[in-house]
Amino acid sequence: MKIRAVILAAGQGTRMRSSLPKVLHPILGRPLIWYACEAARQATGTRSVVVIGHGAQQVREALGDTAEFVLQADQLGTGHAVQQAEAILRGKTDLVLVTYGDMPALTAKTLQQLIKTQISHTGPITMLTVVVDDPRGFGRVVRDGTGQVEGIVEEAQATPEQLKIKELNAGVYCFAAEWLWEALSRIPLSPKGEYYLTDLAGLAVSDGLSIQAVQILDQDETIGINTRIHLAEATAILHKRINQAWMLAGVTMIDPATTYIEPGVEIGQDTLIWPNTYLHGKTQVGEGCELGPNTIIRDTSIGNRCTVLASVLEGARLEDDVDVGPFGRLRKGAHLAEGVHMGNFGEVKNSYLGPGTKMGHFSYLGDTTIEGDVNIGAGTVTCNFDGEHKYPTEISKGAFIGSDTMLIAPVKVGEGGRTGAGAVVTHDVPPYTVVVGVPARQIRKIEKK
């Protein structure tokens, strides 16, 4: 059975009071429409067709080739919106799942339930309903004496009796495709000048066909974003959902409320996260690590048994048993090999620190390659920028860089080389040689151990 999803996202979202299209407002680092696309992708196994209108170009760019797009130039209602997908879907799919771009908390599981119900019945529509006390302006689900769905009444058209109905239309449906395309053309124009998708329920009944309803119990799933208050509510729901999944997968969170983990992040078992820690983007964390408190990690890969305390890591890589912080800053291309220790107030950019290297106190390393087992004294700085160009620094195995050394790049320190405290190194340091002073001069050789 072929199935495709149509995601409605052409509306303006006036109540967001924003120059950004509503569905592009971010939740946990992704535009909120990404969640609807992802749930639909998981449920159908295919790319969705997104109906765009307001901010069409921006929405298209944000989703890229993860979706197909159809333009609804004038927003003439939800029925009209679905109709825009007919040209690319008619004859190509057996079922059509319809959902909204502004319902980020709806899960793939719920969509799958809708699809399963539609497959196991003969009627042309399966709809999602939710029973709540607060009607939120949603359409009411009208049932007959036997409990069969008879139709959907929009709030504006409802009788006082119908307004009391607590079962609401969530706006998510699975349709038999052929019936859908044909029936869409029969939707009458509403008094407001719109074509309501919800009129299909009445049309099915008058065709003598039955409508199935799947009642959702978790009303959080049906939250739709209309204002920034809803945006914050949905963020809280998804935030909690992600954190709970990680805790069930073996991650300890001292304070889940202040632990922020974006979708796409991976975390190994027995890792412990202290409060106020943020894991962004494509971050991967191994097993048995300890992160935070007060730590921000983005697009960084971290091995097993690492410790990161009160630090900011971006585009970095840590192998196993590395410790960073407090107050470390790793920038793009920082690669700390196994067992590296980076203490307080260090900054590393585009550099490799080989196994066992120690950099205990307030240093800056940029464009540097360190072979391993090197000691970087307090206050060491690689002076990698002359105002126009960046230059590399190379430090070989077992070197000892004295406190407050300035390494004027490009420069190399040979194996076992030493610099004295305060040295300003303008020339390469030969292996097993001590240099001191400003500019640094060789004063003696060291015996190779």
Residue 10: name its binding partner from ligand UD1, Ca ion, none (Cβ under 5 to 8 Å by kind). ligand UD1
> Could you say which of 230, 335, 341, 361 is catalytic?
361
Going by the DSSP 8-state scheme, the letter that residue 269 receives in this structure is T
CA distances from 271 to 296, 303, 306, 317, 336 (A): 16, 11, 9, 17, 19
Written as six digits, the tokens of 40 are 């639909």
User: What is the C-alpha separation between 345 and 336, in angstroms, rounded?
Assistant: 16
* Residues within window 366-405 making contact with Ca ion, judged by CB under 5 A: none
* Residues within window 164-223 making contact with ligand UD1, judged by CB under 6 A: 168-171, 196-198
Going by the DSSP 8-state scheme, the letter that residue 73 receives in this structure is S
Residue 279: name its binding partner from Ca ion, ligand UD1, none (Cβ under 5 to 8 Å by kind). none
Residue 59: name its binding partner from ligand UD1, Ca ion, none (Cβ under 5 to 8 Å by kind). none
Residue 286 in contact with ligand UD1, rule: CB under 6 A: no
Q: How far is the CB of 260 from ligand UD1 (least distance, A)?
A: 27
User: What is the C-alpha separation between 316 and 299, in angstroms, rounded?
Assistant: 7
Location of structure tokens 């319902």? 103
**Strand-pair partners of 6:** 49, 98
Asked whether the beta carbons of 303 and 320 are under 8 A apart, the reply is yes
- Among 50, 67, 114, 154, contact with ligand UD1 (rule: CB under 6 A): 154
- Among 44, 48, 78, 126, contact with ligand UD1 (rule: CB under 6 A): 78
Note if 361 is an active site residue: yes
* Site map (CB under 6 A) of ligand UD1, residues 387-416, x = contact: ------------------------------
Number of residues that bind Ca ion (CB under 5 A): 1
Number of residues that bind ligand UD1 (CB under 6 A): 28
Q: How far is the CB of 369 from Ca ion (least distance, A)?
A: 56
Query: Quick one: which H or E segment has residue 30?
Result: strand 30-31
Q: How far is the CB of 176 from Ca ion (least distance, A)?
A: 25
- Among 34, 35, 69, 100, contact with ligand UD1 (rule: CB under 6 A): 100
Distance of CA 406 to the CA centre of its chain: 40
Location of structure tokens 């009607």? 135
Q: What is the 3-state secondary structure (H, E, C) of 119-134?
A: HCCCCCEEEEEEECCC
Query: Quick one: which H or E segment has residue 308?
Result: strand 307-308
Residues 6+ apart with CB under 8 A from 393: 365, 367, 368, 369, 382, 384, 407, 409, 410, 411, 412, 413
Location of structure tokens 């195995």? 397
Residue 394: name its binding partner from ligand UD1, Ca ion, none (Cβ under 5 to 8 Å by kind). none
Residue 300: name its binding partner from Ca ion, ligand UD1, none (Cβ under 5 to 8 Å by kind). none
Type of residue found at 376: I
Number of other CB atoms surrounding residue 300 within 10 Å: 24
Q: Which stretch binds ligand UD1 (CB under 6 A): 41-49, 75-83, 292-300, 391-399?
A: 75-83
Q: How far is the CB of 205 from Ca ion (least distance, A)?
A: 24
Between residues 220 and 428, which has the closer beta carbon with respect to ligand UD1?
220
Residue 158: name its binding partner from Ca ion, ligand UD1, none (Cβ under 5 to 8 Å by kind). none
Between residues 200 and 374, which has the closer beta carbon with respect to ligand UD1?
200
Q: Which stretch binds Ca ion (CB under 5 A): 12-20, 63-71, 122-130, 223-231?
A: 223-231
User: What is the C-alpha separation between 337 and 53, in angstroms, rounded?
Assistant: 49
Between residues 139 and 224, which has the closer beta carbon with respect to Ca ion?
224
Residue 11 in contact with ligand UD1, rule: CB under 6 A: yes
User: What is the C-alpha separation between 329 and 374, in angstroms, rounded?
Assistant: 19
User: What is the C-alpha separation between 104 and 237, in angstroms, rounded?
Assistant: 10
Between residues 100 and 352, which has the closer beta carbon with respect to Ca ion?
100
Give the binding site for ligand UD1 (CB under 6 A): 8-11, 51, 53, 72, 75-78, 80-81, 100-102, 138-139, 152, 154, 168-171, 196-198, 224
Q: Which residues are catalytic?
A: 361
